[in-house]
């Protein structure tokens, strides 16, 4: 029975409101005092029922709640036959709770939209070679699945056949469809805009990227901040204090109406909801832009950050070496030399070989007659009756390849700029030089500028790479403080030292080796493309893997904290104003006080809702 009443609270609010409207209508039409009193008592008792139940439930766990204040105030008003005020007080209190719940449900819209995007079924390959539709929960790692145009990808996996364009906005925030072919990764919850893909499942159920995004948002919205815990404690002691003051006032003045009015005016509703509503609205806004704050404490800590430390590989850089420089020493036959190079590289499975093949993918392939892999050196073989040698400088020198002074000069220049060198020899002569280097993420430089403008004073790079490579990268980015050859424990010690100096440190990383630093920093920030361990230990996750989100996350956290302070200020001003008005004026009463209280709650809610529309300039 109790739970049925609480579930019907909104309906009770509506009925209570209708009764009050009927009372005002009857005043003008009938002016029947007895009928008015009956309707007011009905409205008061009906509205008081769910409030009284919540007050009793709180008392069972030894909490003196705001609902208890309202319950005592309404019962007191009924005792002194102040039926109009008791009815209005219960209605406004219930209506305020309705507005609060409606607002919180709106701020959860981001996660609701994500949940609705979750696929429910999948087409799985059977032993007979046909595809059958099964519940997505029955899909296992290694299953082969078919996804057609308009369907959602049911799991994280890899394309094994076919091609198509996929809308990955739910994962990356990118609205432009991404072209997928054999070997490309796909993610659950994304939609095939055009094409047909056969994929093999790698991560299913709760392990998919999509499910982890939802889980992180839920954790973030459920977590309570230091400020929220303060408000909880405040309400716990504040409510008994108001009861005590009202009781003392009654003992001194013997004015029960005044004591009851103090109970109503002392309700700190706006103060209690001001922080959680702002936090949830802010977290929801961040989720829409691919920023996951893991709890409200994170928002408060991020707001104070003055130092940002970055890992290098996979964080400031893409983490995937690419061909960056080409020097040609035989212009007349360059296309043929490229064909020889790609043909021999296709015979091995090596990261550098894949990088070269990807770069020269339009090149024709020739028939390889013979190939040998020399560990730590490179490749040598025979293609189209030509002797081909591909590898580093030492390897080519050992094989007796003629290397000119120009080649030596180019090798030295590119190595100083952090390149890995691949030389190509045809029939004993060096014909081609390729410089391979990890690329800086496209948006990093611009975002560092934005962060400086936003008040971040110190930037540091800590990397396990050699110091020369780190210096080259930081020179391009304009970062003056950078340290190479750092082990995970070295990074943690460096962070500890900064924190002892009073710095508020954010660490940005993506690898397993970054996890200790992510956990130790005041704020750990991971890219979604990072390892699972890095994501687990971080405080903020950038789902779209774009550094444009970093400044937005910082500014949004500051705006959320600012909104919380505004809400607290509004609530305290209202309570002070009401109590002062009660003492120094004769117009303040219970109904007006409750109306002002609910208006302040609405103001706090509307102020918090502005966060959902926050735009990053």
Report d(CA 392, CA 405) in Å as an integer. Answer: 16
Nearest to 605 by CA among 278, 356, 330: 278
Q: Which residues contact 345 (CB under 8 A, 6 or more apart)?
A: 353, 356, 357, 379, 390
What DSSP line would sit under 519-576, residue for residue? Answer: HHSSEEEEETTS-HHHHHH-SEEETT--THHHHHHHHHHHHHHHHHHHHHHHHHHHHH
Residues β-bridged to residue 379: 373, 390
Active site residue 311: yes
Torsion sign over Cα 235, 239, 240, 242: positive
From first CA to last CA, the distance across the chain in angstroms is 52
* Residue 290 Cα distances to 7, 106, 216, 342, 542, angstroms: 34, 18, 11, 39, 6
Nearest to 125 by CA among 161, 86, 175: 161
Which residue in this structure is represented by tokens 């405040």? 234
3-state SS, residue 375? coil
Task: Retrieve residue 569's tokens.
Answer: 């200020």
Report d(CA 509, CA 514) in Å as an integer. Answer: 6
* Of 143, 156, 311, 465, catalytic: 311
Report d(CA 175, CA 168) in Å as an integer. Answer: 7
Q: C-alpha angle 393/394/396, rounded to 5°?
A: 65
Task: Retrieve residue 579's tokens.
Answer: 């109590």
Nearest to 69 by CA among 198, 299, 316, 247: 247
Report d(CA 68, CA 74) in Å as an integer. Answer: 10
- Answer yes or no: are the C-beta atoms of 472 and 481 closer than 8 Å: no
Rg (CA), the chain: 34
Helices (H), 254-404: 256-265, 269-288, 296-302, 334-345, 351-359, 393-398
* Residue 244 Cα distances to 10, 203, 498, angstroms: 32, 59, 48
Angle at which helix 548-584 crosses helix 590-609, to 10 degrees, equals 170
Positions marked catalytic: 311
């Amino acid at each position: 029975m109790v739970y049925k009443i609480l579930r019907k609270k909104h309906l009770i609010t509506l009925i209570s409101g209708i009764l009050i409207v009927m009372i005002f209508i009857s005043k003008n039409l009938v002016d029947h005092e007895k009928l008015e009193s009956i309707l007011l008592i009905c409205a008061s008792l009906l509205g008081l029922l769910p409030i009284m139940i919540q007050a009793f439930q709180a008392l069972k766990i030894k909490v003196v709640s705001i609902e208890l204040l309202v319950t005592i105030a309404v019962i007191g008003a009924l005792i002194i036959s102040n039926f109009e005020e008791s009815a209005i007080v219960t209605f406004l209190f219930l209506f305020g709770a309705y507005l609060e719940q409606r607002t919180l449900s709106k701020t959860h819209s981001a996660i609701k939209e994500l949940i609705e995007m979750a696929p429910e079924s999948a087409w799985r390959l059977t032993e007979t070679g046909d595809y059958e539709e099964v519940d997505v929960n029955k899909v296992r790692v290694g299953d082969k699945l078919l996804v057609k145009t308009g369907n959602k990808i049911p799991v994280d996996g890899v394309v094994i056949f076919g091609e198509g364009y996929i809308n990955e906005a739910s994962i990356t925030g990118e609205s432009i469809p991404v072209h997928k072919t054999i070997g490309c990764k796909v993610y659950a919850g994304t939609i095939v805009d055009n094409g047909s893909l056969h994929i093999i499942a790698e991560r299913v159920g709760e392990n998919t990227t999509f499910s982890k995004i939802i889980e992180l948002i839920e954790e973030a919205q459920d977590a309570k901040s230091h400020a929220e815990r303060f408000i909880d404690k405040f309400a716990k002691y504040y409510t008994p204090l108001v009861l005590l003051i009202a009781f003392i006032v009654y003992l001194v003045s013997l004015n029960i109406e005044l004591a009851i009015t103090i109970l109503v005016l002392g309700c700190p509703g706006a103060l209690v909801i001001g922080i959680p509503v702002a936090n949830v609205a802010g977290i929801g806004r961040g989720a829409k832009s691919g920023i996951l704050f893991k709890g409200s404490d994170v928002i408060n800590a991020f707001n104070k950050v003055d130092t940002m430390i970055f890992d290098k590989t996979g964080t400031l850089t893409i983490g995937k070496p690419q061909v960056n420089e080409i020097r040609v020493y035989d212009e007349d036959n360059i296309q043929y030399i490229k064909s020889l190079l790609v043909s021999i590289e296709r015979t091995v499975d090596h990261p550098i070989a894949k990088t070269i093949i990807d770069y020269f993918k339009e090149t024709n392939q020739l028939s390889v007659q013979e190939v040998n892999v020399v560990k730590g050196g490179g490749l040598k073989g025979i293609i189209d009756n030509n002797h081909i040698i591909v590898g580093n400088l030492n390897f080519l020198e050992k094989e007796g390849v003629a290397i000119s002074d120009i080649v030596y000069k180019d090798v030295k220049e590119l190595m100083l700029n952090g390149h890995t060198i691949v030389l190509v020899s045809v029939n004993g002569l060096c014909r081609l030089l390729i410089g391979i280097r990890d690329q800086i993420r496209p948006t990093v430089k611009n975002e560092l500028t934005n962060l400086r403008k936003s008040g971040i004073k110190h930037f540091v790079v800590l990397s396990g790479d050699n110091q020369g490579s780190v210096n080259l990268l930081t020179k391009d980015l304009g970062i003056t403080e950078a340290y190479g050859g750092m082990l995970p424990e070295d990074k943690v010690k460096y962070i500890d030292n900064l924190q002892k100096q009073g710095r508020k440190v954010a660490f940005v990383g993506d690898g397993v080796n970054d996890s200790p630093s992510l956990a130790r920093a005041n704020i750990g920030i991971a890219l979604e493309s990072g390892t699972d361990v890095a994501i687990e230990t971080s405080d903020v996750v950038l789902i779209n893997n774009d550094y444009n989100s970093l400044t937005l996350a910082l500014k949004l956290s500051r705006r959320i904290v600012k909104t919380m302070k505004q809400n607290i200020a509004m609530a305290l001003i209202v309570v002070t104003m009401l109590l002062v008005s009660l003492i120094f004026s004769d117009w303040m009463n219970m109904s007006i006080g409750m109306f002002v209280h609910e208006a302040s709650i609405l103001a706090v809610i509307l102020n918090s809702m502005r966060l959902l529309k926050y735009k990053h300039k």
